[in-house]
């Protein structure tokens, strides 16, 4: 026992506890005490400390010495405060008994409401409220709850009695039952309880009280709570506090009411009271939807053209008091509050106040407004916004006012909304796009050879595959909305149609894909573009002032680079040169290059590709100006560029002057068992240096045209040994010299994307001036998990709690973190000024960004749409680390 | 300068240097000094220290002060000793000038022979030897060598003069040229040298000497030598010593001779003089093959039924002296010696002595004999045998006396030799084997579905794939001889024939596969079985007494286990339960299990598989007795068990009552992009626990039948997180209890085969009592290299020096080592008694075994044939670490 005081009372303007005492009183108890201290009218009560629970569970259900006396004292105070008394035949006090631990464990433990009701007090309640039905319904609910929680009688026994009664009396809904019906059910409950429990339902409110306290303490150790604690790392020894609080009633006549309110508009953030109420009603009635709740303010009522009076008009004093209360709550808790209140005979009781949930738009407006109001500072404002929530703002969104017909749903694989004509193949998508049409590419699943079509499309829809399927990953990288795994969609690729239940979609039909929600709509639904000015702009400026980590983007085209600049990117952290190879204008040349029989033939094709790639780089450099551009040389296995569909193969065979059979044989020869671990990255550079030489020449030619304005960083992918890096580095200076580029004008670095590279990072740092971590591949190799195949088992791993999150979405700090840390440490030991960056999908994930900040990274690079998220996440990481 | 003495003389019975002084005198200089100290007659001379070379190269070709005087003194001593003088018109001294570094750098630096010849001394040499042709030939060779090495004149100029001379005189072979011819060529050489070099060929032997010394010093920095040092980690600052030694001649009449000898038979190890000689000849003549060398001993001559007298008969005194010299050399160097000698007018000169190369059979016999002779101890004997060389002894080998017709060659992928009838499919191989025939499985390449056929075959031959292809890896694991990548073999699978040039092979034709050499022979070539007793047995017993690491084997069948026991295995370190699934009797059931639509259907099939697997375990336990058996639960992706060939699919479809189309669709659905990183290992255990439950039940049922005699270790494959291990571990105790097996009767451990497992090894060690490292998969994931695809680039990596060796054959200490070490350290920090073992292919590689010993491993496990290699390697590792 850490304290000899077990009971902390709270009442009007007075409380023994406070907000700081969550350890002892739990979140709920401490918050109620705090509101009393503020002078708010809260239904009075008292809280038993978590020590009581701990003692109770450690001592076979015994309570500590002295507790009884303390509870009696607190109960006396409470009765006096309310003018009501437990078990009193005329003025019965009713209380709730609730759990409340130091950390929120929503719904895991037990609660008993309406305690104090018995065969006598139920009549007093009926008289006092003038609502016999309410009184008997409350009583039977109390029997049911207490019977279950304290006496251990299964729900089914209670439900059976109600069902039988309804059947016998030809009633179907609870609402059809009157006071008499509930009274009869209540007596049937009493009989059943005595039969099942071997003892009668306790009529003595004191017995009820101690039974409920014990049961709530006991519920700390039920199955649900234990599992929840294990999953959330909550220590078993904390225990729960128990709060006993008087019940209040909003249904005691025309000076009574109940309602919920947000202190600001949770949808827009506007500084105006927002919420609803019901006259002469219980809190349940607002939720149950039997009566229509009304507006709080006259302005809101008028805006909605409602006739029923607002609270402001109906009970102006109450409204005035509430406005005061809400102001005080906001200025006390420094945040918009979500408040439950009950008006009992004109007296306003605050039942609960907590930070209100809000849309991201509202969150931004409220945070920025509160800074202007001097309520919080900029740093606090930054911490108020969940970075990931910004995603929703950055992509085009469905116009909420638009009418739409939802056809089917899939997984929300890449956010944003777009409409277009259906194309069932990548080539068709490209052809339609070339005609200036908006296209949605619809496939069973996508493969690397579809990339030109994905690129040409405005959105992608697949009937198979998960959140980490090829389609999902590529779409996110390209910034295209994508819905994957829409299982109800049956695609008949031969007939070029898709069936959803009875509806048939043909090529050319227009659909809308909402990658944010996973919905597919028939026709073109209007969308809204992202607005990056105003409050959002202020917030981003504050973030930039506080963050220390650079934010770059992954981009290959001037268009993507422009968008990223608009979103605040400070450079390009990853230009995937192979994306340039997928361009339809050159894929045929790329295929010729791959299938060339020897180096001279290959070089001839490379000579044609060089000016194209040079122009790509030149346009990228022009867009980026003096901002750095990191270029990764060709990375994927060459066979990814080869065709697999029959049509494509026959076309290519014709172009090459080969038979289809010959071509298929060559393609088969290039196939790999595990392409992820195959002949790719710098391994291509070692075995076919002419490809990298072409790319390097293109880079230097573009630099020459650009007059060296853009700082260029060249990186070699999939490096595993310093010897590899040395051999490839040796290719560079002669080519630079050929274009008159000085060696100081560019930097050479390496990707770290397999564990071995991390192990030999000290050696690599001797040759590389920067490390860019490809955490996608590093996660695949460190975990031995292929992202393309993970859908078969990763969901089971997440649902069984083996992994908290998808390690491809959220960086695996425990498993991959040590490898990254080792590479960073080893590298910097050799080269203290070594630049460290991230260019995997994790570069745009807020939790991962915090981890990279801790590891001392210089920058993260992410897709254009994620740049603002990364800016905010980097600022939060810096703030939280106290720098 | 580290020493003020630059010159170390050696002569008959006297030397300033010794064998310990290799740092200063180089290997050659130190060894010559040592032999002089022993009193052996060595052509006298002196060695300039490596400091001279270092000084020379650091000071633009200047020699250190005092060197000249020291050389003059040494030269005077030498002249006095020989009675010959540099440049003397009657008694000219000829010397060689050779390089010799601390570490052997064969052929990398320059040498000058016959120095001292000029227009005058050449006549004296002719007179003295009575062989004018020899004298002039020697002179022109000296001109050529000196011209090239010292004066920098290209070889081509010399070759052109000889070619022109031959053409003009209608001569074709060097042997056709007489003394006059060489004399004329020599004068043409002199003219050409003066023209090309701008100065005449030096006639002054002193000038010749200093020119040669400088050139040899200089050659330390030539391209070849520099590259060699970089590749072999030899520091540039070492420098080379220079040895000047008098030339001796074996062609001065019938008391002169030259020869080479091994002090014991290098082929059998027999303790008998072995070698050959020529009377009145130069060393070159023995090598050139113009005259047939003769035997050294009478016994050898008679055994060979030769008429020409042996050295023993021709020059009995010389023979007697040599016998004495060889005895002294052996007892001095404690090893069999390979000796070059020259007899000049009855005087025996030893030109060189070094440890002789020998076959592994000879190596074992010599080592064991020398222990018996008291020359070396058992520890030294163990260090004398290269463990890898034993491989050759352990597999059946081609009878060397057999006649054979080699059809073609491929890569020696798995050692041993076997004959059998050709089968072109796994099913056919199995069917023929079932008829009791010996079968050779011949395929383009193999895939996992061929395993039953590989298992049934005596040997495997493929026309594609490298040393690490599926065929090679599986064959080594199964202990089957295998030749892979026999590119000249063209298989026509439809016609069931194979073509090698004009030869056609049909199914049923008998061939012999020699996996040790890569040769394929027509017909059945007789083979010899391994003999593991006698000297070999003694050596193994000594190894077992010294090693501290346990040696286990990878085996699934009683037959393999028996062989491994015969080879000295102490337990099973890896029983791959999936190999039991490939058994033809049950593959159909396995396929049904995989394609089952739901868990109950799957369990029904598993109920049929359980008794089969139980019997497998029972027979393994019976063979192993009280030795431990480590069982790995199912590891490969399920689709590996599914058929791909059209025949197989139609058969299975019929068995399942499905259409081929349906079945193909299901098979396609199960295919993976990167199966290595896919749904396999414990991931199967998590998503389909009924499979592991069946295997566990089979284990416990077999343990029950075996009365718990065999200690069983159960391991889960591909674990990446402790939560995974906990969930799977929870399956075990209830099943053990079902069969009455106490929890103490088995151990549970985990494989460490992906980097993440190593990173969280501390957590894993809380649940696992042993770690078994699957270094094959760990290498694949750490390097991001798929073994099946590596053949496309790994050879380039080895040949370009990026990797020293194939990392799948030889453990990658620099790249994967730190991961293994981290796992070992983290694991033992939590559980100090944690058992560490290796079960990858590296467990049988001597270099890798030494690395695992250093890391504190408890045991290695390897294929049965490699067990003796591992025993010896483990003993050497323990000896070398001084334990």
Q: State yes or no: pLDDT of A883 exceeds 70.
A: no
Please identify which of the residues B36, B839, B842, B862 carries the catalytic annotation. Answer: B839
Non-local CB neighbours of A110 within 8 Å, separated by 6+ positions: A99, A149, A215, A216, A218, A219, A222
Average of per-residue pLDDT across B158-176: 88
Confidence at A68, pLDDT banded by 50, 70, 90 = very high
d(CA A611, CA B296): 74
d(CA B295, CA B308): 8
Give the count of Cβ contacts less than 8 A between chain A and B.
172
Higher-scoring residue by pLDDT: A27, B213 = B213
Confidence at A284, pLDDT banded by 50, 70, 90 = low
Of the candidates A754, A786, A817, which has its C-beta nearest B782's C-beta? A754
Question: Considering only A197-201, B127-131, B864-868, which range has the smallest mean pLDDT?
Answer: B127-131
Distances in whole angstroms, Cα of residue B729 to Cα of each of B306, B716, B733, B760, B834: 75, 9, 8, 17, 17
Average of per-residue pLDDT across B26-47: 93
Question: Considering only A38-42, A407-411, A466-470, B540-544, which range has the smallest mean pLDDT?
Answer: A466-470
Of the candidates A677, A754, A755, which has its C-beta nearest B789's C-beta? A677
Of the candidates A792, A815, A817, which has its C-beta nearest B720's C-beta? A815
> Which residue, among B671, B755, B758, B777, would best test binding to A if mutated, counting the most A CBs under 10 Å from its CB?
B755
Tell me what the pLDDT averaged over chain A comes to: 91
Q: Do B720 and A754 touch (CB under 8 A)?
A: no
Q: Do B676 and A677 touch (CB under 8 A)?
A: yes
Q: What pLDDT score does B430 carry?
A: 84
Average of per-residue pLDDT across A595-609: 86
Average of per-residue pLDDT across A82-91: 92
Higher-scoring residue by pLDDT: B229, A33 = A33
Chain A residue whose CA is closest to B465: A669
Confidence at A288, pLDDT banded by 50, 70, 90 = low
pLDDT digits (tens, 9 = 90+) for B184-204: 999 999 999 999 999 999 999
Cα–Cα–Cα angle for B232, B238, B243, rounded to 5 degrees:
105
**Contact residues, chain A, for B782 at CB < 8 Å:** 754-756, 759, 781
pLDDT digits (tens, 9 = 90+) for B505-528: 999 999 999 998 899 999 999 988
Chain B residue whose CA is closest to A795: B687
Beta bridge partners of B442: B461
Q: What pLDDT score does B304 carry?
A: 84
Give B766 to chain A, closest Cα distance, Å. Answer: 16
Instruction: Judge whether B675 is closer than 8 Å to chain A, CB to CB.
Output: yes
Q: Do A756 and B678 touch (CB under 8 A)?
A: no
H or E stretch at B537: helix B534-546
d(CA B398, CA B525): 7
Q: State yes or no: pLDDT of A115 exceeds 90.
A: yes
Q: State yes or no: pLDDT of A285 exceeds 70.
A: no
Q: State yes or no: pLDDT of A287 exceeds 60.
A: no
Average of per-residue pLDDT across B606-625: 95
Instruction: Judge whether A789 is closer than 8 Å to chain B, CB to CB.
Output: yes
Q: State yes or no: pLDDT of A571 exceeds 50.
A: yes
Of the candidates B759, B784, B803, which has its C-beta nearest A818's C-beta? B759
Average of per-residue pLDDT across B155-174: 89
Show which of residues 713-752 on chain A sit within 8 Å of chain B, judged by CB atoms.
Answer: 718, 720-721, 723-724, 727
Q: How many CB atoms lie within 10 A of CB A103?
A: 14
Q: State yes or no: pLDDT of A337 exceeds 60.
A: yes
Q: What pLDDT score does B468 carry?
A: 65
Q: Do A673 and B675 touch (CB under 8 A)?
A: yes
Instruction: Judge whether A803 is closer than 8 Å to chain B, CB to CB.
Output: yes
Q: Do A800 and B675 touch (CB under 8 A)?
A: no
CA A507, distance to chain mean position in Å, is 35
Q: What pLDDT score does B376 carry?
A: 96
- Could you confirm whether A395 is annotated as catalytic? no
Sign of the torsion angle spanned by Cα atoms B529, B533, B537, B538? negative
The residue with tokens 């909550």 is: A234
Q: What pLDDT score does B441 carry?
A: 96
- Alpha-carbon Rg for chain A in angstroms: 34
Q: State yes or no: pLDDT of B233 exceeds 80.
A: no
Tell me what the pLDDT averaged over chain B comes to: 91
Confidence at A653, pLDDT banded by 50, 70, 90 = confident
Of the candidates A674, A760, A783, which has its C-beta nearest B676's C-beta? A674
> Which residue, among A786, A789, A823, would best test binding to B if mutated, counting the most B CBs under 10 Å from its CB?
A789
Show which of residues 321-350 on chain B sit within 8 Å of chain A, judged by CB atoms.
Answer: none
Please identify which of the residues A319, A452, A470, A579 carries the catalytic annotation. Answer: A470
pLDDT digits (tens, 9 = 90+) for B773-806: 999 999 999 999 998 888 889 888 988 888 888 8
Q: State yes or no: pLDDT of A524 exceeds 50.
A: yes
Most confident by average pLDDT, B128-132, B274-278, B576-580, B630-634: B630-634
pLDDT digits (tens, 9 = 90+) for A154-172: 989 998 999 999 999 998 8
Of the candidates B672, B720, B802, which has its C-beta nearest A724's C-beta? B802
Instruction: Judge whether B674 is closer than 8 Å to chain A, CB to CB.
Output: yes
CB A35 within 8 A of CB A18: no
Non-local CB neighbours of B603 within 8 Å, separated by 6+ positions: B690
Q: What pLDDT score does A290 carry?
A: 59
Question: Considering only A362-371, A447-456, A519-528, which range has the smallest mean pLDDT?
Answer: A447-456
**Contact residues, chain A, for B817 at CB < 8 Å:** 759
Give B809 to chain A, closest Cα distance, Å. Answer: 17
- Could you confirm whether B503 is annotated as catalytic? no
Q: What pLDDT score does A453 carry?
A: 87
Average of per-residue pLDDT across A757-783: 97
Q: Do B781 and A782 touch (CB under 8 A)?
A: yes
Average of per-residue pLDDT across B438-446: 92
Show which of residues 808-827 on chain A sit within 8 Å of chain B, judged by CB atoms.
Answer: 812, 814-819
d(CA B588, CA B590): 5
Question: Considering only A160-174, A758-772, B374-388, B701-715, which range has the smallest mean pLDDT?
Answer: A160-174
Average of per-residue pLDDT across B723-737: 96
Q: What pLDDT score does B1 carry?
A: 44
pLDDT digits (tens, 9 = 90+) for A821-852: 999 999 999 999 999 999 988 999 999 999 99
Please identify which of the residues B319, B395, B452, B470 carries the catalytic annotation. Answer: B470
State the DSSP string of B116-143. Answer: T--TTHHHHHHHHHT-HHHHHHHHHHHH
Q: Do A674 and B789 touch (CB under 8 A)?
A: yes
Q: What is the pTM of this model?
A: 0.80
CB burial of residue A61 (10 Å; 0-12, 13-18, 19+): exposed
Q: Do A724 and B797 touch (CB under 8 A)?
A: yes
Q: What pLDDT score does A565 carry?
A: 95
The DSSP letter of residue A402 is -
């Amino acid at each position: 026992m850490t304290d000899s005081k077990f009971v902390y009372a709270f009442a009007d303007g007075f409380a023994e506890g406070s907000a700081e005492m969550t350890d002892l009183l739990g979140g709920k108890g401490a918050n109620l005490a705090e509101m009393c201290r503020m002078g708010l009218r809260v239904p009075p009560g008292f809280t038993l400390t978590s020590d009581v629970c701990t003692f109770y569970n450690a001592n076979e259900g015994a309570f500590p010495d002295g507790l009884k006396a303390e509870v009696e004292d607190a109960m006396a105070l409470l009765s006096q405060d309310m003018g009501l008394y437990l078990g009193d035949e005329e003025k019965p006090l009713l209380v709730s008994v609730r759990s409340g631990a130091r950390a929120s464990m929503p719904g895991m433990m037990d609660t008993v409401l309406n305690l104090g009701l018995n065969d006598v007090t139920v009549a007093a309640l009926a008289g006092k409220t003038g609502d016999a039905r309410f009184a008997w319904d409350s009583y039977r609910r109390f029997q049911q709850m207490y019977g279950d929680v304290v006496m251990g009688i299964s729900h089914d026994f209670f439900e059976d009695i109600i069902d039988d009664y309804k059947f016998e009396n030809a009633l179907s809904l609870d609402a059809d039952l009157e006071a008499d019906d509930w009274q009869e059910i209540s007596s049937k409950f009493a009989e059943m309880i005595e039969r099942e429990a071997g003892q009668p339902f306790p009529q003595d409110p004191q017995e009820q009280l101690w039974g409920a306290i014990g049961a709530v303490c006991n519920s700390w150790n039920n199955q649900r709570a234990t599992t929840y604690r294990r999953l959330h790392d909550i220590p078993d020894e904390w225990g729960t506090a128990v709060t006993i609080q008087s019940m209040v009633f909003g249904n005691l006549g025309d000076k009574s009411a109940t309602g919920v309110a947000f202190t600001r508009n949770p949808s827009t953030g506007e500084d105006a009271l927002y919420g609803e109420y019901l006259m002469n009603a219980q809190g349940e009635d607002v939720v149950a939807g039997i009566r229509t709740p009304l507006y709080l303010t006259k302005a809101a009522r008028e805006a909605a053209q409602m006739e029923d009076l607002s609270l402001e008009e109906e009970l102006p004093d109450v409204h005035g008091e509430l406005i005061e209360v809400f102001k005080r709550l906001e200025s006390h808790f420094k945040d918009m509050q979500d408040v439950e209140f009950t008006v009992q005979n004109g007296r306003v009781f605050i039942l609960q106040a907590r930070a209100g949930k809000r849309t991201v738009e509202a969150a931004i407006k409220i945070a920025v407004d509160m800074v202007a109001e001097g309520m919080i500072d900029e740093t606090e404002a930054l911490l108020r916004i969940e970075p990931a929530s910004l995603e929703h703002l950055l992509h085009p969104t469905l116009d909420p006012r638009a009418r739409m017909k939802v056809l089917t749903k899939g997984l929300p694989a890449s956010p944003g909304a777009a409409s277009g004509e259906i194309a069932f193949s990548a080539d068709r998508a490209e052809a339609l796009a070339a005609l200036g049409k908006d296209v949605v590419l619809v496939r069973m699943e996508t493969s690397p050879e579809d990339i030109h079509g994905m690129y040409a499309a405005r959105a992608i829809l697949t009937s198979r595959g998960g959140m980490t399927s090829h389609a999902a990953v590529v779409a996110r990288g390209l910034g295209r909305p994508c819905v994957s795994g829409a299982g109800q969609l049956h695609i008949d690729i031969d007939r070029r149609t898709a069936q959803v239940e009875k509806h048939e979609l043909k090529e050319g039909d227009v659909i809308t894909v909402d990658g944010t929600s996973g919905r597919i709509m028939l026709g073109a639904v209007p969308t809204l573009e992202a607005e990056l000015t105003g409050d959002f702009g202020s917030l981003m400026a504050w973030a930039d002032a506080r963050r220390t980590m650079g934010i770059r983007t992954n981009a290959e085209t001037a268009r993507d680079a422009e968008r990223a600049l608009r979103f605040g990117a400070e450079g390009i952290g990853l230009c995937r040169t192979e994306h340039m190879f997928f361009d339809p204008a050159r894929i045929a040349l790329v295929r010729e290059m791959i299938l060339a029989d020897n180096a001279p033939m290959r070089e001839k094709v490379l000579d044609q590709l060089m000016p194209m790639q040079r122009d790509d780089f030149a346009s990228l450099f022009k867009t980026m100006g003096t901002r750095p551009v990191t270029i990764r040389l060709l990375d994927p296995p060459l066979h990814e560029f080869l065709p697999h569909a029959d049509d494509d193969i026959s076309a290519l065979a014709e172009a090459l002057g080969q038979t289809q059979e010959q071509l298929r044989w060559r393609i088969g020869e290039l196939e790999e068992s595990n392409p992820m671990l195959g002949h790719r990255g710098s391994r291509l550079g070692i075995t076919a240096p002419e490809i990298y030489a072409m790319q390097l020449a293109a880079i230097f030619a573009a630099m020459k045209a650009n007059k060296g304005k853009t700082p260029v960083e060249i990186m070699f992918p999939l490096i595993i040994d310093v010897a590899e890096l040395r051999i490839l580095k040796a290719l560079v200076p002669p080519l630079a010299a050929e274009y008159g580029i000085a060696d100081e004008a560019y930097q050479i670095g390496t990707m770290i994307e397999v564990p071995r590279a991390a192990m030999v990072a000290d050696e690599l740092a001797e040759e590389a001036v920067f490390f860019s971590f490809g955490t996608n591949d590093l996660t695949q190799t460190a975990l031995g998990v292929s992202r393309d195949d993970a859908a078969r088992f990763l969901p089971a791993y997440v649902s069984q709690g083996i992994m908290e999150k998808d390690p491809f979405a959220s960086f695996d700090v425990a498993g991959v973190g040590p490898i990254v840390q080792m590479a960073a440490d080893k590298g910097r030991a050799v080269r203290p000024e070594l630049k460290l960056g991230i260019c995997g999908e994790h570069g745009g994930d807020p939790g991962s960004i915090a981890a990279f900040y801790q590891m001392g990274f210089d920058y993260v690079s992410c897709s254009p749409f994620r740049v603002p998220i990364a800016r905010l996440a980097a600022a939060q990481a810096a703030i939280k680390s106290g720098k």
